[in-house]
Amino acid sequence: MGLQIAPSQNVNLMSSPNIQRRQDTRDTMASETLDGYVIDVGCIRKNARDELLEKARTHSRECALMGHCVESGYGIVTEDDRLTVLDSEATPKIVNTVEGSDTEEGIRLRVQREEQDGSMETTSIEEIS
């Protein structure tokens, strides 16, 4: 069975009379750096979850740049088999990086993301070896 990506649900917890709004006074935003193999969401969906790391290790540059693959968006699979589907704003950055790569299969990227307006957004992408 392939990976299914469910749409997010928005729930307004502030409308409940039992929940009080607390102001967040932190000045820092959450951030993360992911090192892993790039694979398009189309290929993520058509491969079994327990085979995804191996598929990402051999995912071709050619496939990643096909029109329908680009349109589907991208994810990163880390060596510890963690999948992160990236935000849509990452797509042009991924395409530019993959187009500039000499690697034919198993393109490894370092993706930096920061929390902005409650969701993680990609801020930079670079190929790593």
Q: Give the model's pLDDT for residue 84.
A: 97
Q: Give the model's pLDDT for residue 29.
A: 65
Compute the residue count for the chain.
Answer: 129
Residue by residue, pLDDT tens for the chain (129 residues) are 444 444 433 333 333 333 333 334 344 569 999 999 999 999 999 999 999 999 999 999 999 999 999 999 999 999 999 999 999 999 999 999 999 999 999 999 999 999 999 999 999 999 998
**Number of domains within the chain:** 1
Q: Give the model's pLDDT for residue 20.
A: 35
Question: What H or E segment, with its residue span, contains residue 127?
Answer: strand 119-128
Domain that holds residue 77: 30-128
Q: Give the model's pLDDT for residue 2.
A: 45
- Tell me whether residue 12 is in a domain: no
Strand order of the β-sheet with 74-78 is 83-85, 74-78, 31-40, 108-116, 119-128
Question: Could you tell me how far CA 78 lies from the centroid of its own chain?
Answer: 11
